[in-house]
Amino acid sequence: MQALLDVILPVFLVIGFGYAAVRSGVFPDAGVDGLTKFTQNFAIPCLLFSAIATLDLSGVFQPALLISFYTGATVGFLAGLFGARYLFGRDWDASVAIGFSCLFSNSVLLGLPITERAYGVEALQANFAIIAVHAPFCYALGVTVMEIVRNRGGLAGDTLRKVLRSMFRNALVIGIGLGFLVNLSGLPIPRVVDDALALVVRAALPVALFGLGGVLVRYRPEGDMRTILYVCAVSLVLHPAVVWGIGMATGLDRDAFRSAVLTASMAPGVNTYIFASMYGVALRVAASAVLIATALSILTVWGWLAILP
């Protein structure tokens, strides 16, 4: 109960504050788009840049960490893909989008603040290692499989360009890439620049959580409830369970193990709806899964925190 009160509820109260403000009309719905653009295109890329630029790369990029997390993510994607196709009779295009909803956990907006509140700032090193390859991995997998499906099993000539464009037009990926460039080159960040970054970074997560609450007002559940609950189960239970098993088998150290399991247990991120919108399929499932899984994760994350070492 203490974990629920001290770690989880403050994060979800900020989300709920944003949701209530927009739902009641106190904060305009149009303003949510501005907040989202600020956080997604500026504040969070600055946060990731600052974190990656100062990471001890040799210490945090453990093979066992990445294998554990991304094997779990891939299992989630395949469960969503084939479950949508063979359990719910969706066509292959929609099945890929539903698989992507099971793949893309909200590693930044939920994973970072919950891990920080549970285990402290120093525990975020493994989170940043996961996040550094999260968007590239997920978009590469999702776009590649979608293009294979749409071309009836064959790769189109422009598939690679589509994958690269989806990844490297993403501001988060740009921030991560620039962070790696500074880290590997050893270039110092001028103090005045570092201080300015710190100001933006301090606003990143609280504003992003408020904005997330505002965005969720738009994602109202409408039908497809069995499929949506299936996505929730894969995202909130199967993905972290697989990460737990592989992390234990590979001897992942305690701090990295905690970060991997907690990040895997997060609800699908808004990027899942963006991916569905790119292809115009499974929009209702993706949107509703973001809302419902985010609400359910209050309880499921509490459960994972209770059993984590």
* 27 conformational bin, left if phi > 0, alpha if psi -120 to 50, beta if neither: beta
Rounded to two decimals, what is the model's pTM?
0.85
Predicted local confidence at residue 154, as pLDDT:
54
Q: Classify residue 4 as exposed, middle or buried by CB count within 10 Å of its CB (0-12, 13-18, 19+).
A: middle
Structure tokens at 180: 């790696």
| pLDDT value for 217 | 85
Mean pLDDT by 10 residues, the chain (309 residues): 68 89 91 86 89 80 93 97 96 95 92 92 90 86 84 59 67 85 89 92 88 81 86 97 97 94 93 82 87 91 93
* pLDDT the model gives residue 156: 53
Compute CA distances 271 → 7, 9, 54, 118, 229, whole Å: 24, 23, 26, 25, 18
Instruction: Please state the φ and ψ torsions of residue 105, each to the nearest 5 degrees.
Output: -75, 155
H helical segments located in the chain: 2-3, 9-23, 29-38, 44-53, 57-60, 63-86, 92-103, 111-119, 124-132, 134-150, 159-168, 171-185, 191-216, 225-233, 239-249, 254-264, 271-279, 283-307
CATH number at residue 149: 1.20.1530.20
Q: Do residues 104 and 127 lie in contact, with contact meaning Cβ atoms separated by under 8 Å?
A: no
User: Which DSSP category does 40 fall into?
Assistant: I
CA distance 282 to 142: 14
- Full residue range of the structural domain in which residue 58 is found: 2-307
Euclidean distance between CA atoms 5 and 303, whole angstroms: 13
pLDDT of 112 = 92
- Distances in Å between the alpha carbon of 119 and those of 41, 66, 252, 283? 27, 20, 17, 35
Domain count, the chain: 1
Contact 158, 124 (CB under 8 A): no
For Cα atoms 160, 272, 241, give the angle at the middle one, nearest 5 degrees: 100
Structure token pair of residue 249: 């088998």
